[in-house]
Amino acid sequence: MTTLLVIIYVAFISLGLPDSLLGTAWPTMHSALGVPVSWAGVASIVVTAGTIVSSYNSARVIRRFGTGLTTAVSVLMTAVALLGISFAPGFWAILLWAVPLGLGAGSVDAGLNNFVALHYEAKHMNWLHCFWGIGVTLSPLIMSYSLAHGSWRSGYSTVGLLQAGLVIALVASLPLWRRAQGPNGQGGNVQVPPLRDLLRIPAAKSQLAAFFCYCGVEGTAGLWGGTFLVLARGIAPETAASWVSLFYLGITCGRLLSGFLAMRVSNGSLIRIGQVLIVAGVLTLFLPWTAALPAGLVTIGLGCAPIFPAMLHDTPVHFGAGLSQAMMGVQMAFAYVGGLILPPLFGYLGEQLTMGLFPPYLMTLTGLTILATEATRRTIAARGHAHA
């Protein structure tokens, strides 16, 4: 299982690689393609929509083809899509290739998260998402080098070729997946009830609400933190950009540390620790001192670090191994929907009112996340399945 775990870690690096490519390349891409700068949002929505659809349907696909084959084909889809974007003659082609890019990402995310939740300790779930952070961090560096020595097209092609290399490793690893999960790669234990039946399961609604609200916190902090610093607190744009990077650094380093902490602390406690840190970080943003702002952002990042992996790792414990893949897919879908809706909602409110609403908006979403996770905890405890 160690070799397979290494492959899964590498797969999560590759999952993070495409996520920050568009944002890094777009200032150059939109000019080269002759489209308005705002059209990046259209491409992002197409990718996210594909990810939501594939996450929601991941249990059906994995029950039919197994986690290993599904992951290999999904990564192949992302590789082909990235290479296709590198040759795109116009924006219409970007939108075309955005469809397989999103569809591939969703199945990999839901499938690998569930596999790790079922077969590995909580520390590995935290480290898995730390490796995603490595991918998101490497991607802008690759694109930056490509822009300096060529064009945005070479950046996309480079990441596409890296994904293609991973496909070869995944295909070679298929026997390992079969040994881990049974002849069809899944063990025949995946249940795929309709959404209405999943929602009737005790704690399902509160758990999905927690994913929806938490991803709103993370997405809003990452997307609008810089704008808040510049427009509401008068920070220079270049300084604001470097301070927002501390938020992502907090998430990545926090997940590395959370992996070690998970050896001694339960998932429920990790979630509460993270929520306390987010509240402390947001409260810091209310302070009038400029020096408090970067400290607040990095604290919010540290707080975000353990929450998502811990909630994912709890899925089989809360809902059983048979239902965990179905719940994992729906959880990921709700997470992506939260990330799709809540950050733009703040953008609208900030534009119409003031960007100074950034801290209270984050605090509201954090409060809702706390209420949802505590409701899940109480319901599970009432059923006699509390683990923390």
209 within domain boundaries:
yes
186 within domain boundaries:
no
Q: How far apart are CA 164 and CA 6, in angstroms?
A: 17
Does one domain contain both 140 and 221?
no
Q: Residue 224: give its domain's CATH number.
A: 1.20.1250.20
Enclosing domain of residue 351: 195-382
Check if the beta carbon of residue 31 is closer than 8 Å to that of residue 141.
Answer: no
CA-to-CA dists, residue 184 to 62, 66, 70, 112, angstroms = 9, 6, 11, 16
Cα–chain center distance at 337? 11
Does one domain contain both 159 and 229?
no
- pTM (2 d.p.): 0.84
Instruction: Mark which of 135, 150, 181 sits at the end of a domain.
Output: 181
Does one domain contain both 200 and 317?
yes
122 within domain boundaries:
yes
Does one domain contain both 297 and 330?
yes
Check if the beta carbon of residue 296 is closer than 8 Å to that of residue 285.
Answer: yes
Instruction: Mark which of 156, 181, 206 sits at the end of a domain.
Output: 181
Does one domain contain both 270 and 373?
yes
Instruction: Mark which of 181, 215, 237 sits at the end of a domain.
Output: 181
Whose tokens are 């975000």? That residue is: 304
Q: How far apart are CA 356 and CA 231, in angstroms?
A: 8
Structurally, how many domains does the chain consist of?
Answer: 2
Q: Which ranges constitute the DSSP H helices of the chain?
A: 2-16, 21-33, 40-56, 58-65, 67-86, 91-119, 122-149, 152-172, 174-181, 195-200, 204-227, 237-261, 267-285, 292-313, 315-319, 321-352, 358-382
**So what's the pLDDT on residue 164?**
95
Check if the beta carbon of residue 347 is closer than 8 Å to that of residue 361.
Answer: no
Per-residue pLDDT of the chain (388 residues; tens, 9 = 90+): 678 888 988 888 888 888 778 877 887 888 899 988 778 778 888 988 999 999 888 888 888 888 889 999 999 999 999 999 999 999 999 999 999 999 998 888 888 888 888 888 888 898 888 888 888 778 878 888 888 888 899 999 999 999 999 999 999 999 988 887 655 444 456 677 888 889 999 899 999 999 999 999 998 898 888 889 989 999 988 888 788 878 888 998 999 999 999 999 999 999 999 999 999 999 999 999 999 999 999 999 999 999 999 999 999 989 988 888 889 999 999 999 998 899 888 988 998 999 999 999 999 999 999 999 999 999 998 876 444 4
188 within domain boundaries:
no
**So what's the pLDDT on residue 1?**
66
Instruction: Name the burial class of residue 31, with classes exposed (0-12), middle (13-18) and buried (19+) by CB atoms within 10 angstroms of its CB.
Output: exposed
